[in-house]
Amino acid sequence: MFREIFDIYNWEEIKQSIYSKTSDDVEMVLNKSNRRTPEDFKALVSPAAIGYIEQMAQLSRELTLKRFGKNMQMYIPVYLSNECQNSCVYCGFSRNNNIKRITLSEEQIVQEIKEIKKFGFEHILIVTGENELKAGIEYFKKVLPLFKSEFAHVSMEIQPMMQSEYEQLIPLGLNTVLVYQETYNKNLYKNYHPSGKKSDFYFRLETPDRLGKANINKMGIGFLIGLDDWRTEAFFTSLHLNYLEKNYWKTKYSISFPRLRPAAGEFEPKVNITDKELVQLICAYRIFKEEVELSISTRESEVFRDNLIKLGITNISAGSKTNPGGYSTFKESLKQFEINDERSPEEIGEIIKHQGYEVVWKDWEKTYN
């Protein structure tokens, strides 16, 4: 399990070692012809690498074109429930927030699907809060087939589950699971996740292991940008990815870059990342792993997202609503967080095409299942 590797490392020592990387270290890693290691990754996310951003962007672009061609995969999230038993201090759906709680019924889900299908998507990302009773395994077993009959690719961002539960959902059409560690700083984790099942750091950390053992087709990992030093968080994510690829080599991987956005509860991020640093982070992952998918959501601004298209991103969301029923049945319900790019999927598709890229609505065949 990843825990055995993770526990060898010390957060402060890693941080110090990243911040002590020099220009020579960065150049050595950029000029390397063989595969880069997590140790190399430290140089790529170090402050010293910011002076090499142009070189990194060019290399990232070349590697992405070589592996993925000029293709951009489109996906859209659908929120099914804002019920949650956790109290993450940065989230509008925290159980401590006094909001109207909604879990969509099968009829309401069919309505949402009808609206979403008008945009042309074939890849759907199902999102729920973490509530075993309202949105647990029995609920997912009921609603997954509704999605599978309409979408080629079904991803889920839901509560971490047991291996046996994933094994029940995969035959129903589950292709991908996203599970972000939020922060890899074990000592701070509890401050951000004080109660509920999510307060168990190691249960979350080992979720990708359970997914790998269940033979999931693809999983997405990452951290929430804003909770602690992003360079150190990124190193631990790279270590995690490296471990998972070695141990569950049949599974594909993606990395996302969720940057904290305003939400109910008025949480202030502990650290900020500039747009330039976020570009550095994206390029660093691409240079580290040529084959990993890199995904950007509508948390980011229009201009910034447009500029990222050629830099290494392979998956992009569009037209997103972050509230349950947001497309049709409960348009005014509370959003998990504010989005930053409100353009329609069609508009975003045009921008991608304008940059010479193919807009990929369908990246999976049901028969592959």
Give contact residues for ligand SF4 (rule: CB under 6 A).
Answer: 84, 86, 88, 91, 93-94, 129-130, 198
**Least distance (Å) between residue 224 CB and ligand SF4:** 8
Distance (Å, whole) CA 66 – CA 52: 21
Beta carbon of residue 199, minimum distance to ligand SF4 (angstroms, whole number): 10
Q: Are strands 218-221 and 153-157 parallel, antiparallel or unpaired?
A: unpaired
What is the rounded distance in angstroms from the CA atom of residue 84 to the CA atom of residue 94?
6
CB closer to ligand SF4, 184 vs 364: 184
Instruction: Determine the 3-state secondary structure of 79 from DSSP.
Output: strand
Least separation in angstroms between CB 247 and ligand SF4: 26
DSSP assignment of 350-369, as one string? HHHHHTT-EEES----GGG-
In the complex with ligand SF4, the residue whose CB is nearer, 57 or 178, is: 178
Nearer to ligand SF4, 86 or 323 (CB): 86
SS3 content of the chain, % helix, strand, coil (to 5): 45, 15, 45
Query: Residues 301, 304, 306, CA angle at the centre, nearest 5°?
Result: 105
Report the residue number, 140 or 248, with the smaller CB distance to ligand SF4.
Answer: 140
Q: How far is the CB of 279 from ligand SF4 (least distance, A)?
A: 26
Tell me whether residue 151 or residue 337 sits nearer to ligand SF4 (CB atom). 337
Q: Which is nearer to ligand SF4, 86 or 103 (CB)?
A: 86
Q: How far is the CB of 77 from ligand SF4 (least distance, A)?
A: 13
If DSSP codes are grouped into helix, strand and coil, which group holds residue 26? Answer: helix
CA distance 220 to 215: 14
**182: DSSP letter:** B
The distance of closest approach from Cβ of residue 212 to ligand SF4 in the complex, given in angstroms and rounded to an integer, is 22
Can you read off the two tokens belonging to residue 91? 């989230």
